[in-house]
Amino acid sequence: MDETFQDMIAGAVAGAPYGKTLGFELTGLEEDRALLSLPYREDLTTIGTMVHGGAIASLVDAAATAACWATSHLPENPRGSTIGFSINYLDAALSADLTADARVIRRGGSVHVATVMVSDKAGKQIAHATVTYKLSGKPSGK
């Protein structure tokens, strides 16, 4: 993926007002895959130093969005929306910087499915999710 394309996705996902509020950082991007990080901050916690599940779910959603947009077949004037979301929390994230590794596992006409694994820096798995995303717009080159 070229830098212009990466910058566009970084701006649309991590650079969106909500992404900025949470502090998302796009750390990797390739065809059908995105890595997005969420640095630990005390204001993202729920009890003690435990990162709030809603912040983790937001990280999952943003990473899946970036992965779904990471295609050489991106339509012109793209727009999209999450249409399905299932998450399983596997462990608590305590004072932890988190990384979401999102991979598109199925591309349909406009509906795509991604799987997302969230881990801390030590590699402990925090959450696993499946996200269904609708990506539409005018087909490229038409």
Only one residue has tokens 């990473």, namely 63
Instruction: Please give the Cα distance from 39 to 13 (Å, whole number).
Output: 15
Closest residue by Cα to residue 126 from 83, 86, 97 = 97
Q: What is the pLDDT of residues 55-107, one digit of tens each?
A: 999 999 999 999 999 998 888 888 899 999 999 999 999 999 999 999 999 99
Write down the mean pLDDT value for the chain. 94
Q: Which amino acid is at 19?
A: G
Provide the strand spans (E) within the chain: 25-30, 33-38, 76-89, 98-107, 111-120, 125-138
* Cβ 64 vs Cβ 131: under 8 Å: yes
Q: What is the pTM of this model?
A: 0.94
How many domains does the chain divide into?
1
At 131, which CATH number? 3.10.129.10
Q: Which domain holds residue 18?
A: 3-138
